């Protein structure tokens, strides 16, 4: 009688443990699938934002949209790329790319301003965006070097 109860208790404990492990594995699988789905959606969003930058750049070059639309679109794209970065090194690389990209735009507008083809506020906006990007990069690199 005691032996039967003991066996029943042991089997019950084993069943509960197996159920708990199965539940935990199922939860991990679901979380992994959700993470993969979220990442896939984030990548699709980044790709859509990249196409938006391309379209707005062409429209800007054809004098259809103002420069600040292109800047905003590029900032949205870099923000999406930052969200996808999985390590601080990847984040810093995205921030460096953003700084370089904005330096090029700033130089472009300095040249256009010198030729009288761009106004001072637009040139200053390009500089302000580049400085904001450099601040973000400096903050990120100071955090990783500590």
pLDDT above 90 for 73: yes
Any idea where the domains of the chain sit in the sequence?
2-145
Looking at residue 33, its pLDDT comes to: 75
Query: Which of 56, 55, 51, 92 has the alpha carbon at shortest distance from 71?
Result: 56
Looking at residue 67, its pLDDT comes to: 84
Model confidence pLDDT, tens digit, residues 74-87: 999 999 999 999 99
Query: Which of 103, 105, 81, 102 has the alpha carbon at shortest distance from 93?
Result: 81
């Amino acid at each position: 009688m005691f032996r039967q109860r003991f066996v029943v208790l042991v089997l019950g404990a084993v069943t509960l443990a197996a159920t708990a492990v199965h539940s935990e594995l199922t939860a991990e699988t679901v979380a992994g699938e959700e993470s993969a789905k979220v990442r896939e959606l984030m990548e699709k969003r980044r790709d859509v934002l990249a196409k938006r930058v391309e379209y707005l750049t062409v429209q800007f070059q054809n004098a259809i949209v103002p420069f600040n639309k292109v800047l905003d679109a590029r900032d949205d794209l870099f923000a999406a790329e930052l969200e996808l970065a999985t390590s601080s090194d990847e984040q810093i690389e995205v921030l460096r790319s953003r700084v370089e990209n904005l330096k090029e735009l700033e130089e472009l507008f300095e040249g256009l301003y010198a030729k009288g083809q761009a106004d001072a506020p637009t040139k200053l906006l390009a500089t302000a965006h580049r400085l904001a990007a450099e601040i973000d990069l400096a903050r990120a690199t100071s955090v990783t070097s500590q």
